[in-house]
Structure 1
Amino acid sequence: MFGIGIPELLIIAFIALIVFGPGKLPELGKALGNGVNELKKAFSKTTDPKNDNKKE
């Protein structure tokens, strides 16, 4: 991917824990997950030819 391995991810998680605190991390994780999910939905709608004629 970007050359990010387990040690780098652990360092990023530790810094996030220090900056945001343990109370905010679940909220941030949920918000990030929802954002990624919405991005996937939007991207699949633009690239999936089967969804061209469907109305929402």
Structure 2
Amino acid sequence: MGRLGPTEIILILVVIILLFGAKKLPDMARSLGKSARILKSEAKAMKSDDQQSAPADPPHATPRTRRCPGPSRPRPAT
């Protein structure tokens, strides 16, 4: 079921032509191409924005941990 043979592809193309008509197919293909180009350019822009906003060399210092006060211990008598 995953593989399409030549007869299945031809049948799908015939159904598409019958549904949409031969005159509308070039316009639909053109708009699909424009949409793909816009999507590709937006993806590139998002990648470049992420690379610019991320620091080139993140600091290697470990964050200081803050000690939480635990239960108080009684002091030994002196």
TM-score range, shorter chain: 0.5 to 0.7
Question: Structure 2: which 5+ runs fail to align?
Answer: 53-78
Q: Which runs of 5+ in 1 are unaligned?
A: none
Q: Distance in 2 between matches of 1:6 and 1:41?
A: 34
Decide which structure has the larger Cα Rg and report it.
2
Corresponding residue number in structure 2 for 1:20: 20
Residue in 1 aligned with 2:35?
35
TM-score computed with the length of structure 2 as normaliser? 0.48
The percentage of aligned residue pairs carrying the same residue is 24
Q: Distance in 2 between the 1:37 and 1:5 partners?
A: 30
Listed one character per residue, the Cα deviations across residues 16-55 of structure 1 (whole Å, up to 9, x for unaligned) are: 1110000000000000000000000001100125x84xxx
Instruction: Describe the shift of the 1:3–1:45 C-alpha distance in structure 2 as closer, same or farther (beyond 3 A).
Output: farther
Q: Which has the higher helix share?
A: 1
- Structure with greater contact order relative to length (CA < 8 Å, sep ≥ 6): 1
